[in-house]
Structure 1
Amino acid sequence: MSKVGERERLKLQREPHWQRLRAGCFLGFRPSKRGGRGTWIARAYDEDARKYRLKSLGDYGALSGNEMFAVAKNEAERLAELVEAGGLMRAKIETVADACRAYAESRPEAGDRFRRYVYGDAIAKVRLSKLRRRHIAEWRRRLEDRPSLVSRSKVGEVRVRPRAASTINRDMVVLRAALAKVLAPGSPNTDAAWQEPLKAIANADGRRTLYLDRGQRLGLVEATTAEAAPFVEALCLLPLRPGALASLKVGDFDKRTAELTIGKDKSGKPRRIQLPGGAARLFALQSKSKLLTAPLFMRENGKFWDKDSWKRPIAAAVAAAGLPAGATAYSLRHSTITDLVGAGLPLLTIAQISGTSAEMIERHYGHLANDAATAALCALEL
């Protein structure tokens, strides 16, 4: 890799081409797919952690082709010395992508959004020190112009629809939060005000108004296939997001105490809830004779449920049970939260169980609590 001609003939691939400099110290080079100078990467083995530490060195665009290897080699050797001395604590947060990866370490859903809309975008490589309002505004325009997939099936016609305002807000909020961790807001109405293009679209989040009563939910479970019925029944018993329920492992449920640990969810923070008798029996049955790492609600192929696999059986059951066509897995979450609010459970408790904020519960379901309060006051009339 020290020779320009040899580097130019290297095969385009995701994994860098590595050259061993010495034991535990490597220098890598990844050719550019767009005809650029390519990227240099340093790799050093950390004996204490028993794994390699990587550092992106950039493209050294200001150097001539003959100088690049020597400078990159020195950087790789410096990294190895730092790792061997135990001085490597954490990679520097220099770019937008770095800030997003640091933010996503404890927030799985944020990481999923970054992989879809940030890491592969031009904004990922923008250095935080040079981030300007125009960079964010251009990224937002690209996001808004990008259609949402209606069907993610790998076979058949790919169906799309315009991206909803509420979806745009959810995609933007994680980027705003990640950047706010490492950047102070810029002066308003200037190009330094990176935060301004990430302002949420007002009144974008409407209430989920499709409510299924208990009889309709029972009919849905009965109309669901045997494979999906336990998963759908669990959605009717607990106000959990379908994705959080689908990602549960057998080890997340303690049969002795009937406690459930919910780890992978929108908030990114694990929480424990106590299950009532019916839900506890269902979860105990689903965990029977399975490994602790197996899916708690398992498909016939042994895999976890996901939104692409639960969509069809639920849609078929909705039609078979004669329910409103717009009913989905999320309608069950809305319905269970509605019942809890109507039963008079404190909004903060409902928020903790369902893994959301009390503010969100108040905003979307507070009117139900007010209705219950009005009815209670009516009972006081003489």
Structure 2
Amino acid sequence: MPPAQPLVRDVLAGYIEDRRPRVKSIASIEYACAALNVHLGDLKPEHLTRQVCRKYAEQRRAQGARSPSWKTRKPLSNGTIIREIVTLRAALKWAVSEKWISEAPQIEAPPAPAPRERWLTRDEAKRLLAHIKAPHVHLFVLIGLYTGARTGAILELEWSRVDLATGIIHFGAGEGNKRRSIVPMVPQLRDALSAAAQIRTSDWVIEFYGKPVKSVRHAFRDATESAGLADVTPHTLRHTCATWMVMNGVPFEMVAKFLGNSVEMIERVYGHHSPDWLRQAANALAGLDGFSGPSGPEK
């Protein structure tokens, strides 16, 4: 039975329990809901005005990361706050569908951050791999570079979806707009996976002492610092894969299929790396009669 007068924390708790058996990434939903509860949990849904949402964004930005392992707390980016707001919107929508509340208030989110441009050159990628000590993290990086798969897809990958005979990896269906792909392996990745398969002790491709790995964030950060690479995260591997393909003239449609993205997104984020980007438009301006350059028209 729904609460007679549900608070925001009640809605978030109900949403978590509804989603728990349906999604694999429940931890990210729980993390967002924990942050939302601190500032908004005691409010009623109808109290979530634009001003309240703006105040929440200000407080979260100043509060910084909630992880106690961080020595210093850095202000949060809008991207993290937006993910929390999106979770709140989804929970309120769920509450309407379950007739806990009659309607969901309009929830305002801060502006979306500009897309990250950071990607690795070939030399930087080699340097990163050379500074990774743990074999499972080394394999994680190879898969990220050569498939462009998201971190979650790589960590959830099981050997049953790796076909070494045909050289194909099936990353699964994905959730929502985060589609996953079926991709071929390049020879280097196929060799690495074949070697890992010989000594595997579990069903997961990325394992540590026979157990699945929940996160490679800390080991990855240590490797980037040791390699002298700034502003590099596990997601940078996906950007690198896409950038390398586009720079080598792979059509946007093929890159989108490979990564499980839309063609529009690939063109918007990575199009400027293409050697043929806007070439047709530039060619249309060539050969203008009566113009010889900066000195002006011919006399």
TM-score (normalised: structure 2): 0.71
Distance of 2:47 and 2:232 partners within structure 1 = 40
Is 1:167 aligned to residue 167 of structure 2? Answer: no
Distance of 1:357 and 1:125 partners within structure 2 = 39
Per the alignment, in what secondary structure is the counterpart of residue 160 of structure 1? coil
Is 1:118 aligned to residue 28 of structure 2? Answer: no
Whichever residue aligns with residue 239 of structure 2, its letter is: H
Out of 159, 166, 169, which is 1:260 matched to? 169
The 5 Å alignment of 1:267-286 reads 267=176, 271-286=181-196
Structure 2, unpaired ranges of 5+: 98-102, 288-299
Structure 1, unpaired ranges of 5+: 1-55, 61-93, 185-191
Per the alignment, in what secondary structure is the counterpart of residue 235 of structure 2? helix
| Superposed displacement of residue 194, structure 1 | 0.8
Out of 105, 114, 133, which is 1:194 matched to? 105
| Superposed displacement of residue 361, structure 1 | 2.6
8 A contact 2:57–2:110 mirrored in 1: no
Q: Give 1 or 2 for the bigger CA radius of gyration.
A: 1
Distance of 1:217 and 1:144 partners within structure 2 = 37
Question: What is the match of residue 367 of structure 1?
Answer: 272
Question: What is the match of residue 14 of structure 2?
Answer: 98
Distance of 1:333 and 1:152 partners within structure 2 = 28
Share of identical aligned residues, percent?
A: 21
Whichever residue aligns with residue 251 of structure 2, its letter is: P
Out of 20, 24, 42, which is 1:108 matched to? 24
Distance of 1:326 and 1:372 partners within structure 2 = 28
Higher RCO by CA contacts (8 Å cutoff, separation 6 or greater): 2
Distance of 1:317 and 1:235 partners within structure 2 = 19
Change (3 A) 1:96 1:215: closer
Whichever residue aligns with residue 221 of structure 1, its letter is: L
Out of 47, 50, 64, which is 1:148 matched to? 64
What is the CA deviation profile of residues 229-254 of structure 1, one whole-angstrom value per residue up to 9, with x for unaligned ones?
22222222221223332332323312
Distance of 1:255 and 1:355 partners within structure 2 = 21
Distance of 1:265 and 1:158 partners within structure 2 = 34
8 A contact 2:45–2:105 mirrored in 1: yes
| Superposed displacement of residue 296, structure 1 | 1.0
In the alignment of these two chains, the number of paired residues is 272
Q: Whose helix proportion is higher, 1 or 2?
A: 2
Q: Whose strand proportion is higher, 1 or 2?
A: 1
Is 1:223 aligned to residue 131 of structure 2? Answer: yes
Whichever residue aligns with residue 191 of structure 2, its letter is: R
Change (3 A) 1:344 1:181: farther
Change (3 A) 1:178 1:124: same
TM-score (normalised: structure 1): 0.57
Per the alignment, in what secondary structure is the counterpart of residue 276 of structure 2? helix
Aligned-residue RMSD, C-alpha: 3.9
Distance of 1:248 and 1:255 partners within structure 2 = 14
Question: What is the match of residue 219 of structure 2?
Answer: 310
| Superposed displacement of residue 162, structure 1 | 1.5
Distance of 1:274 and 1:149 partners within structure 2 = 37
Question: What is the match of residue 354 of structure 1?
Answer: 259
| Superposed displacement of residue 115, structure 1 | 0.9
